[in-house]
Every structure is written in C-alpha cells, then in structure tokens.
Amino acid sequence: MQKFRKIGVLTSGGDSPGMNAAVRAVVRSAIAQGVEVMGIYKGYRGLIDNEMKQLSYRDVSGILHDGGTCLYSDRCHRFRFLEGQQEAAETCRKNEIDGVVVIGGDGTFRGGVDLTAQGIPTIGIPATIDNDITSTDYTIGFDTAVNTSLSMVDRLRDTCESLARANVVEVMGRDAGDIALEVGISVGAIAIAIKEVPFDEEGLIKKIKAGRDSGKRNYIVIVSEGLGDYSEKLAKLIPEETGVETRFARLAHVVRGGSPTLRDRMLATRMGHKAVECLLQGESNLVMCERNGRIEPMDITYALKLDRMYKGKLTEGELRPYSLADITEMREICEAKRRYMLDTYNMADILSR
C-alpha cells in the first residue's frame, strides 16, 4: 500500500457553512497520523496555479464556527479541460502531494474523478446548501441554510400579520426543492412551489380566499429558485386574484453565509475525519455520504451516475458498466428520495389548509 506523507485539501464551487469545519477535521486528522497537509487556495484553480500553503494544527484553530471557506473557492473553467487537469496533477507531483480531499458539490466531484484519472488519489466531501447530492441524505451547509432562511421568513410573517399581507419568498437550491420544502414546512407556509411536484395554482388562490374570509392575516408562499421567474409571477397573481396585498422577497446568497449549525459542524467533522481515514488506507475516488445517520463512503463515479439518474439526465448507455444489482440499488435510492419529497410535500399541503 502507498505510504502517504503529504495530502492536499481544497474547497470548490459555491461555498457553504461548515466547509471550514471539514477543512479543520481533515487537517487535524491527517496531522494526527503523521501526514502533512497543504491547504490549496481557490479550489482547482489553486491546484493549477500552485497556490498552496502547509497548514499546521494551529492554523485551523478558531475556524470551526466561521461561515464561508478559509481556503476560498472558485468555479475553475480551466480544470474542465484535460490540459488543466494534467497541470493540476503535475502541481501535486511537484509538491509531493500523495492525495487530495476535495470539498464541494457535484461539479467538485466531477473534478475529483478527473484528478484521480490523472493518478492523484482523491476523496470528496459533499458541501452545498442545496442538498442536491443524491448519494447522501444531507450535505454540509443545508441545515444552516434552512435555519437561516426560516428565521428570516419568521420575520416576514410578523410584518405580514400586522398588515394582512402575503409574501412570496424565493429561496436558493438550484434545481433542488429541498430548501424550499423544509423551510416551507417549518414556517407554516400556505404553499410551497418546487420543481419536483406540480404546483396547484388554483388551489393556492382558493386557500388564500378561504383564509381571508375566515380572518387569516398572513400568507407565506415559499418558491424554489429552480422555477425561474415563477416566484415574481406569483407575487403579481395573488393580489389580482384574491385582493390580498402581496410582497416579494428573494433570500438569495444571504443564506449561504453565517456560522454553521451544530448539525453541520458535526456532519463536516465526521466526514472530514472519515475522508482522511479512507485516503490514508489507500482508497480513492470516493465520496463521503451520510446514510441513515452513518458516514458511508461511495464510489464517486457511481454517486455521480446515481445523481444523473435522480435528475433524469442519464443518456443512452451510461449505465452499461454497471451490474443489474447496482442499477437496481440506484433505482431504489432514487425512488426513496422521490417518495420522501412527494410524501413530505403532501403532508405540508394537508397541514396548510
């Protein structure tokens, strides 16, 4: 088995609260095993441009509770091409980096597969507020983002109640409705619009009219950004159809910052520790996943295919390398996630009448 003397760690793509906690866990777990750690700055761009620094145990003190990422982040265009990937691998060899832990979302993991293909063992840690990595129940940053969103929407509800208004609130999540769904339920929204479930516009109008006639004064509608400009359209439609004065709010990047919650700190720490354990045991091309409360590593390529299956993006022949048992397992995971989204959505609908 290869003896690891030095590893690298980077954060890439949209930042998320808890990335620092993951960096800290990676650095300290590796140092505890006698392995040096290079902090690579600005994601894959730093790997190409050789922007890195050795990190000590102390260098990662006092970052556990910080939002953002102390290693900075980037969406590196050059790394999408073979030349960039080769340059990045060359930088690793020059710096005697034996393996890399990459922290980010699905784009980061595609980069991890490319780096592994260039001979640099790579392990991924899922960190994105979107919770859109199908292989893991939760991604680092999601819990903080939903908690921040709900405390903001609670404030909006106060002012709606005072003035008998509706507020349509658009939340981030890219194409995934996870943030919208959990925030919508937790604030008692009258309706939630996400890409995964058809939206009953007429039903919403009826609910608002019935609420208005029975003395209800606040109406919160949560819309996922994946629906494009639908949130703004809805904010115009509601007053036209119901007479209820309506405001619009887009929470946007504000929920991507801030101090991570306990859940995100724990998830990041457990995943960071496990990632180092796997890397030093000679494993590669794995992504850390939390499944039913346990940290279970999964092959990144497999996890990316699973993701494409869930998102309906698979093209002809992509599953050819996989066994029937693998494909059945992938289908079951996708089905379980779809069922969860639908059942939770239906529950929210029943509770919001």
Binding site for ligand F6P (CB under 6 A): 14, 105, 128-130, 172-174, 225, 256
Helix, coil or strand: residue 78: helix
Can you read off the two tokens belonging to residue 301? 């390529």
User: 258: left (phi > 0), else alpha (psi -120 to 50), else beta?
Assistant: left
Phi, psi of 316 (to 5 degrees): -45, 125
Indicate which residue of 15, 114, 130, 137 is catalytic. Answer: 130
Angle 149-152-154 from CA coordinates, rounded to 5°: 110
Q: How far is CA 259 from CA 113, 143, 263, in A?
A: 30, 11, 11
Strand order in the sheet with 246-250: 191-193, 219-224, 166-171, 246-250
Give 151's contacts (C-beta < 8 A, 6+ positions apart).
none
Q: Which helix (H) or strand (E) holds 40?
A: strand 36-40
Closest to ligand F6P by CB, 14 or 84: 14
**CA atoms within a 13 Å half-sphere pointing along the CA-CB vector of 335:** 6
175 labelled catalytic:
no
Check if the beta carbon of residue 130 is closer than 8 Å to that of residue 105: yes
Letter for the amino acid at 37?
V
Pinpoint the alpha helices (H) of the chain: 19-32, 43-48, 82-94, 106-117, 142-163, 178-186, 201-213, 230-242, 262-280, 300-310, 324-351
Tell me how far apart the alpha carbons of residues 11 and 162 are, in angstroms, rounded to a whole number: 43
DSSP code of residue 3: P
Active site residues: 130
